[in-house]
Structure 1
Amino acid sequence: MQAVEFARKLASKLFFQHVLDEILFEDGNHLYRFLDDDPIVASQCHNIPRGIITVKPKSMTEIASRLRLMSYAMFEAYASEDGRHVDYRSIHGSEEFARYLRIVETLQRVEVWDLSREEKLAFFINLYNMMTIHAILVWGHPAGALERRKLFGEFKYVIGASTYSLSAIQNGILRGNQRPPYNLMKLFGAKDKRSKVALPYPEPLIHFVLVCGTRSGPALRCYSPGDIDKELMDAARNFLRSGGVLIDSTAKVAYASKILKWFSVDFGKNEAEILKHVSNYLDPADSQVLLDLLASSELKVIYQPYDWGLNC
């Protein structure tokens, strides 16, 4: 009985788990495996270069704070002032990046499900943006749609004994487990432990802060739990007022970022609702023009070409 209790304690600390992730630990004919024996962890996860860390993990709050400070230092040193250009070549091999890698190694056995909404938003946004940089440095900038799908779906970290791809963070956690664009299935099934970490509903403003290494994406910034809602609104204003939505009142046309098309369900049920949502973040004059055109039912929306080139 003591052996069973000891094994349950190890399992609760995320050293190993049931192969089907159905039970914690029970005596009997059940199969378990250590975290670093999981084939997905071993082959696809990039924050376990030296195996599973056996020391007691730091608190999630402390790790998130360290990640935030390191991200801020890296962006200050290697991103342009407006956050639109990243010096990937200098990041690679830098001391800051080496320290970042040591920080994300400590995520393997953390307890992430107890974070507040604000903590989850700040942590996963910062992690997504740094993880994207990591993925590009390891795999290179994806040249086409298939390579992009691989980078966002197969480059993973272990966080709290579960594996997270960039897509899982964006669509599973931050979008409240919504289907990714052009996909039929949600990423997390009913029994998936990661669904407990997911936000209860999509946060549409994340699309103005998640940086996937492209020229048409948002500016690279660091986010904090204490100010996350203000920071999200500021990022939305910055993106939408800097070309994310352009209005030609004479032609009665709104030129909108493709992001608003791909993730339209997060902003509204139809195009009018989406643009009304967006109008909250435009300059007041542009917002009024947009609302007037919507009211007249004469507005045409054209989605801008998306530049997938690297934001270097």
Structure 2
Amino acid sequence: MKVTIVVKDRLYKMRRVTNCFLGSEAVDFLSEDQYLEREEAVEFGQKLANELFFRHVLDENLFEDGDHLYRFLDHDPIVSSQCHNIPSGIIELKPKPIDEIASRLRVLSYAIFEAYASKDGRHVDYKSINGSEEFERYLRIVQELQRVKVKDMPREEKLAFFINLYNMMAIHAILAWGHPGGPLERRKLFGDFNYVVGGCTYSLSSIQNGILRGNQRPPYNLLKPFGVKDKRSQVALPYPEPLVHFAVVSGARSGPALRCYSPGNIDKELMDAARDFLRAGGLIVDLNGKVAYASKILKWFSVDFGKTELEVLKHASNYLEPTESEVLLEMIADGELKVIYQPYDWRLNC
């Protein structure tokens, strides 16, 4: 089909669209190639579109006969230039179920963390991961995500899958592009290193802020990751999951510990991650000075934890040691608390 149909740049609704083809031309080809009537060819084309081989350039319909423009998945300019799980193009075999791929990804991630991260998950041996047999297997697995169906995943499966994918994708990004040296490089790594998953492109930022935070604006940004018509908004969780901030690891020393998450136990594992992070210095309470020294994670993503700074601290107090939590709540009640946010160490967690 790709060889026969004319793919070229065209004008559509006063804009130039690259690498696309007409619906009518696809119907012509399918009618002749599959010996179908035009209506049958349209139905066949809709099945191909539903399997994410191609899509409407503006997502206006699934597939129709006529002058509508469509684009093969690997001809999408972002997919072809910025996605790092398509080294040999789009896999045309029928994708395996997402729960099966997610399970394999989880097992492999666990093996990588066991072999190449410290016991507490705070340090990662990136040099040894690069080129390892386990990482090569990971690169093959993520290719299978290109056309999977992720929209209808249950909450628990979606949480575990996207957290695990984020953490391995961050490792992949650091190995491919190097650890970012400053804010501009970090912005590029978080925003421009992409995978294609279920026919859509996902960056680290769009996974964290779009999927896991229920399509909330990233810190210091004016826009949400997904617009109203963006298909990825249908994949996003319905509301922010605040504890994911203690689970996603971007490679910074001040970030959480690296660990693997499972759908069957995801809520307990996230609470454990929050306890470990906050009790290990993410929130320090100084009774004598009436000061709480908090990780900037609680500042950057405060809207996920509460409407005010004090609500955020009350939320975080649930994961401190009971005695320390009690002290913090008493200081909040007395109105004597001062909050100081700790410097964030962006150096690589190696």
**Fold match (TM-score > 0.5):** yes
Output the CA distance in 2 between the equivalents of 1:5 and 1:284: 61
Instruction: Give the number of aligned pairs.
Output: 312
Output the CA distance in 2 between the equivalents of 1:164 and 1:185: 16
**Unaligned stretches of 5+ in structure 1?**
none
Q: Is 1:104 the equivalent of 2:136? A: no
Corresponding residue for 1:78?
A: 116
Aligned-partner residue type, residue 261 of structure 1: K
Corresponding residue for 1:240?
A: 278
2:67 to 24, 29, 33: 29
2:252 to 214, 236, 243: 214
Give how far 1:224 is off: 0.1
Aligned-partner residue type, residue 177 of structure 1: N
Q: Is 1:69 the equivalent of 2:107? A: yes
Secondary structure of the equivalent of 2:211? helix
Output the CA distance in 1 between the equivalents of 2:59 and 2:77: 14
Cα deviation, 1:10-58, whole Å, max 9, x if unaligned, reads 0010000111111100000011111000000000000000000000100
2:225 to 184, 187, 193: 187
Give how far 1:3 is off: 1.6
Corresponding residue for 1:4?
A: 42
Output the CA distance in 2 between the equivalents of 1:75 and 1:191: 37
Output the CA distance in 1 between the equivalents of 2:276 and 2:66: 58
Considering only CA atoms, is the larger Rg found in Structure 1 or Structure 2? 2
1:151 to 175, 189, 203: 189
Q: Is 1:92 the equivalent of 2:130? A: yes
Output the CA distance in 2 between the equivalents of 1:153 and 1:25: 30
Cα deviation, 1:52-103, whole Å, max 9, x if unaligned, reads 0000100000000000000000000000000000000000000000000000
Output the CA distance in 2 between the equivalents of 1:107 and 1:19: 21
Runs of 4 or more above 4 Å deviation:
none
1:13 to 27, 51, 56: 51
Cα deviation, 1:139-182, whole Å, max 9, x if unaligned, reads 00000000000000000000000000000000000000000000
Output the CA distance in 1 between the equivalents of 2:215 and 2:148: 21
Secondary structure of the equivalent of 1:306? coil
TM-score, structure 2 as length reference = 0.89
Output the CA distance in 2 between the equivalents of 1:277 and 1:260: 10
Aligned-partner residue type, residue 191 of structure 1: K
Q: Is 1:59 the equivalent of 2:97? A: yes
Identity across aligned pairs (percent)? 77
Output the CA distance in 2 between the equivalents of 1:116 and 1:164: 19
Aligned-partner residue type, residue 123 of structure 1: F
Secondary structure of the equivalent of 1:169? helix
Output the CA distance in 1 between the equivalents of 2:217 and 2:205: 10
Cα deviation, 1:238-283, whole Å, max 9, x if unaligned, reads 0000000001100000000000000000000001100100010000
Aligned-partner residue type, residue 99 of structure 2: T
Output the CA distance in 2 between the equivalents of 1:263 and 1:10: 40
Corresponding residue for 1:126?
A: 164
- Report which structure shows greater RCO (CA 8 Å, sep ≥6): 1
Give how far 1:2 is off: 2.0
Output the CA distance in 1 between the equivalents of 2:60 and 2:154: 26
Output the CA distance in 2 between the equivalents of 1:247 and 1:295: 14
Output the CA distance in 2 between the equivalents of 1:27 and 1:244: 57
Aligned-partner residue type, residue 306 of structure 1: Y
**Unaligned stretches of 5+ in structure 2?**
1-38
Corresponding residue for 1:197?
A: 235
Output the CA distance in 1 between the equivalents of 2:71 and 2:306: 44
Give how far 1:4 is off: 1.3
Corresponding residue for 1:165?
A: 203
Corresponding residue for 1:38?
A: 76
